[in-house]
Amino acid sequence: MKNSITVKRATAPRTTALSALAPPAAILTALVITWQVAVTAGGVQPAILPSPQRILQQGWEARTTIWDNTLPTLQETFLGFAVSLTVAWTLAILIDFSPWLRRALVPLLVASQAIPIIAIAPLMIIWFGFGMLPKVIVIALVTFFPVTVGLIDGFNRTDRDAINLLRSMGANRWKQFVYVRLPSALPSFFTALRIGIAYAVTGAIFAEYVGAERGLGIYMAVMKNSFRTDLVLAAVAVTAFVSVCLFLLTYVAERAIIPWHSKERRSWHG
Amino acid sequence: MAEATPPKIELRGIGKSFPLGHGQVRPVLDDIAFSARPGEFVAVIGPSGCGKSTMFNIMAGLETASSGEVLVDGDVVTGQHEHFAYMPQKDLLFPWRSILENTSLGLEVAGETKKTARARAASLFAAFGLSGFEDAHPFELSGGMRQRAALLRTVVQGRDVLLLDEPFGALDSLTRTDMQSWLQGVWSQNAWTAVLITHDIREAIYLADRVVVLSARPASVRLNLTIDLPRPRELSMTTSAEFAGYERTLLATLHEETLSPRGP
Ligand SMILES: Nc1ncnc2c1ncn2[C@@H]1O[C@H](COP(=O)(O)OP(=O)(O)OP(=O)(O)O)[C@@H](O)[C@H]1O
Ligand SMILES: [Mg+2]
């Protein structure tokens, strides 16, 4: 009987990494070629719009500097996101257990998103200097909200009947949380995590842009001021690449932590 | 309670109204009373939405009754959960747990170690036709197997009374017939006291020692019919004259009820 399962698994349609990457790669290539042709044929000045070829060439020559500036950005992103995750889980669990805290905190969380980061980030430099701290705060500030909301929502989406089943077994609130609410929330947590990580890199760049010692953000600002449009865009390309890698990493984590989720989904479609 | 042995379970005057807001209430249960002897299998049928699941929720201590009491072995246990093992209408097998982990959940929640809980559940896998599926996940199982796993999760808790809420409602009729004769078999080998909610009159007669018919909302007991068919029951009995007689009686009572709905 086990055999029939194996067979079903093997024949279920599966998207390979290649077939997933091919369509976006094709469109990207087409865009880059168009850009190259337009710039070369139109005779646009490199300081205004450099060709992709030039960006690649100059970027490669400046690779050590760019790499030296990428590392701190990555560090800030990870640290900021770690802080954000800690805050998000703590808040979401507190809110899940206490109706009073839910009423008290949810409006404040929503209000926190009305803070214009663009105005606050320069102040952070005044308050906390040019080091790591203001960056971590900005990243945490822009990413904790989607993750917290995703978690709160995930906990709430638990089947009421499943809670009742646990209650009939004699589970207290804590056991209900551990056995049902937490696992039920994990799929929406990973969705929220993807939204958060997309904001995290942009947040880091932005925080550096207004003032930093090193990092891709300040690198872009400095290069812009010396009219090195090509190097600004090279740094943008690196940022985009980093974002995509982190985004893909969330899928790896999802498969490792909740393997049942993707298997179950595949069995519905297959 | 003057009898020598009190019934295993007894419901006395159970009533339930749900508040609807604006000072209005929806009466759902009105004076439900019946009992079951130890080892007795009682089936409950009634019009859709009459309050059968609500009655189970009250027995399982998930919902408070507006009036009346639940007794187990002669003691009032209203609001307590530890006497009843509840199998809800949906199978509620959790996708993040293997079948073995799903079936041992109740014992784990009750504080058994994972190891003991799993060993106890595993020892029932053969009887429930689930051998070899210990490590499978719920989505890999057929509908009938899922229901058997859910039932295993219910009985392994070792509670006094099983509450089965339409366990076979979602199955196709062929699988359902299989499951009914299988349940009849395992039930006769164990001394479970069970209450089964069903919409299927033939299922009720085939499986039960007694069939309780509820009226339309607000529900009360319309008929308490003893099924005097020999055990073990064979599928061939379902074509006997006695069986047909019970079927006619139940159908007539139920028909009256569905034609006269009351209340908001
Ligand atoms: N929390 C609630 N608040 C208000 N009304 C409720 C509530 N729970 C159940 N009801 C009502 O009580 C009635 C009985 O519900 P219940 O689920 O017990 O019926 P049932 O007999 O199990 O139905 P079915 O045969 O469809 O399973 C329904 O009309 C339902 O709308
Ligand atoms: Mg019901």
| CATH code, domain with B183 | 3.40.50.300
- Residue B58, pLDDT > 90, answer yes
Q: Within this chain, do residues B78 and B66 fall inside the same structural domain, yes or no? A: yes
Last residue of a domain, one of B158, B174, B193: B158
Q: How far is the CA of B89 from the centre of ligand 1 (A)?
A: 12
Which of B57, B94, B109 is facing A169, going by the closest CB pair? B109
Chain-centroid distance of CA A212 in Å reads 22
pLDDT score of B222 = 92
CB pairs under 8 A between A and B: 64
Q: What average pLDDT does this structure show over B188-212?
A: 92
Classify residue B88: in a domain, yes or no.
no
B76 and B99 inside one domain: no
Is B89 among the domain residues?
no
CA distance B90 to chain A (A): 8
pLDDT at residue A246 is higher than 90: yes
pLDDT at residue B25 tops 80: yes
B187 and B148, same domain (yes or no):
no
* Domain finish residue from B158, B181, B210: B158
Give the number of the ligand closest to the Cα of residue B263. 1
This prediction's pTM: 0.85
For residues B148 and B177, membership in a common domain is answered with: no
**Is B57 a domain residue?**
yes
How far is the C-alpha of A139 from the C-alpha of B172, rounded, in Å?
54
**Based on the structure, what is the number of domains in chain B?**
2
| pLDDT score for B154 | 94
pLDDT of residue A1: 40
- Same domain for B177 and B154: no
Hey, whose CA ends up nearest to atom 31 of ligand 1? B49
Please indicate if any CB of chain A lies within 8 Å of the CB of B106: yes
Comparing A13-22, A47-56, A127-136, the range with the smallest average pLDDT is A13-22
pLDDT of residue A28: 92
- The architecture of the domain spanning A50-268 is Orthogonal Bundle (1.10)
**pLDDT at position A74, please?**
95
Tell me which chain A residues have a C-beta less than 8 angstroms from the C-beta of B157. Answer: 169
Q: Do B191 and B78 have their domain in common?
A: yes
Cα separation values, B87 from A106, A181, B164, Å: 36, 19, 5
Give yes or no: residues B75 and B132 share one domain. no
Residues B111 and B28 in one domain: no
Q: Is the per-residue pLDDT at B27 higher than 80?
A: yes
Cα of B53 from ligand 1 centre, angstroms? 7
Ligand 2 centroid distance, CA of B90 (Å): 10
* pLDDT tier, A2 (very low <50, low <70, confident <90, very high otherwise): very low
Mean pLDDT of chain A: 89
**Do B84 and A260 count as a contact with CB atoms less than 8 A apart?**
no
Question: SS3 string of chain B?
Answer: CCCCCCCCEEEEEEEEEEEEECCEEEEEEEEEEEEECCCCEEEEECCCCCCHHHHHHHHCCCCCCCEEEEEECCEECCCCCCCEEEECCCCCCCCCCCHHHHHCHHHHHCCCCHHHHHHHHHCCCCCCCCCCCCCCCHHHCCHHHHHHHHHHHHHCCCCCEEEEECCCCCCCHHHHHHHHHHHHHHHHHCCCEEEEECCCHHHHHHHCCEEEEECCCCECEEEEEECCCCCCCCHHHHHCHHHHHHHHHHHHHHHHHHHCCCCC
| Residue B147 pLDDT greater than 70, yes or no | yes
pLDDT at B179 over 80: yes
Poorest-confidence range of A129-133, A140-144, B255-259?
Answer: B255-259
Cα separation, B137 vs B150, whole angstroms: 13
Task: Please give the DSSP secondary-structure letter assigned to residue A199.
Answer: H
Quick check: CB of B51 below 6 Å from ligand 1? yes
Specify if B5 maps to a domain. Answer: yes
Residues B182 and B218 in one domain: yes
**Structural domain that includes position B31:** 1-83+162-264
Closest ligand to Cα B17:
1
Mean pLDDT of B25-48: 93
- Tell whether B218 is covered by a domain: yes
